[in-house]
Structure 1
Amino acid sequence: MESERGVTPETGGKDTDTSAASPRLGMGARADLGHYSMSATSSADGRVMIGQDIEIFPGKPRPDLASFDTTAYEAEDRRQTGGQLALLCRNSRVPRVTAIGSYKNIRNPHLLRLVEAGIVDWKPEGRQRLCLVFDMPTGKKLLPSRDAKPLHITEDRIVEALIIPVLSVLTDLRHVSLVHGGITLENMFLTGAEKAESVVVGECLSTSASYRLHPIYETAERGMANAAGKGPGTIKDDLYALGMCVAMIARRQNLMEGRTVQQMIMEKIESGSYVLASGGERLPGGISDFLRGVLNDDE
């Protein structure tokens, strides 16, 4: 199995450098033995199991549900009804293996629920991979791709459907000393009927916090920094990312479209994040005040 250099166990909300120890995925999981399955098998007929109850289907890929450089497949947990989603993590993306237990203990309907995690012998690649199994998302991504337009949420529903649910998730994560680090429109799902819709926030375990964020979701300073050197961030960084999500939904505009990364960063430096996000317009329903509060360019 590949050596997992730089796995960053999260203790007290801070990532600790373990690169000197060069832990492997299985070793890094020992901090979370109560939540981390090492009983994963692959049979001759191609079946991949985690424990005795969860089967992953290599022949049923779900690229539309992959997040942060994972590969996604349908899965089934025999202990419950409804499908599951298996995400295979890339070792080079520094999965947050020691945050698995804390994440799994959170009970929040607006956070994608982790069912199980384990190392699987992935026959298609002839190597072992960390696998995270979640409940299958039931809604649509707020932004299906980076060149798409965001889904529509009416102005009168943005606070209840988007802001309040995400704030509840960030609060629960803070209680267990975790930063999400993956608050993006591409990593949120809109569920429920019109006028009663709300978002479910996607996972944050498959990569190190903030490791794969597009710079639109970060301050100019963090956007210019090397991913490996910027650190895990704080709840302020999650709130900043939420602000950018809210702005794009309120304006029904993808702020990544038509701008290079360099152009985005320069606009933030020259005009400020709020001006970039709002387009200089006064957004309705107290949204402008919210954006002014969270889109803080001072680190």
Structure 2
Amino acid sequence: MTEAARRDRLPGGVSMADVARRAGVSSQTVSRVSTGHPGVAASTRRQVLDAMHDLGYRPNIAARALRRGRFHAIGVVMPTLTTFANSRTAEAIAEEAALEGYSVTLIPVAAATLDELAVDGIVIMDAPRFDAANLTLPRGTRVVSVGSRSDADYPVIDTDQRGGATQAVRHLLDLGHRTVWHVTGPAESYAGELRTRAWRDVMREAGIMPPPAERGDWSTLSGYQAGRRLADEPGCTAVFAANDQMALGVLRALHERGRRVPHDVSVVGFDDIPDAAAFLPPLTTMHQNFSEVGRRCVELLLGDIRGGPSGPGTVLVAPSLVRRASTAPPPR
């Protein structure tokens, strides 16, 4: 084996010129193939790709990014992946970005070193917690946000949290319930805050004094603990839980206390997680279109990256009520 052949097989020791010699083409042709340039014949492209494979050649992504001024990557800054909404939204963003030829880097808020990120733009999830961490964005960073306040300095994409909670509470009132109890999200959650505000507003518009809210933290356990307290309220015939996991905890607590759902108490959740239809009974809930939220995030961010219009503004994706067996008119 020649020295050149041995060098071809060493990791990181293969150059574009080596690939060009193996394929019998120019280095310019190799460059066009590695960057996906359309002006290369299919047979030539195959020759070059075969040579890259044989030699173990990997294009220098960093060098390409410096030449083009783009990394073809999006950063997603988020406080946690433990909630269903965050994990599903991040998944939807990654799926849509992949269709556009972009990769996604997940960045926990606590570990964010934004000045060093090799990304073309950033999606911020749960922006109030990002702001609370006192993190600043490098000048000129292209940003969209999921779940931000309306006065944000960058575009916001979100589920219509207020609209969804309004539908949930009105559904229970329309069934004839005289009041609706509420299990909230955590105090630091902006989405949870919007759902709670909507619950109170709908109740007051209906001339009903809202009962005390039960504080939850998105977990099934917190819903269970709230459900045990609500089970002891004789006037509690309807509960709106701010997410499906907490609604599951409420269902269990009511069952243990002998309160039948929906015969004695109706329960509505929020999110429409995949298991919601398998709860006992199947859960009435607000369906969030996470795929559309992710699609709109990537669409708006890439539009800005590619020179399209940008600036503050809010896009709300409407949720929809999924009626299942956990809600019914109140007992007579």
TM bucket normalised to smaller: under 0.3
Q: Determine which structure has the larger helix proportion and give its number.
A: 2
Larger Rg: 2
- Using the size of structure 2 for normalisation, the TM-score is 0.21
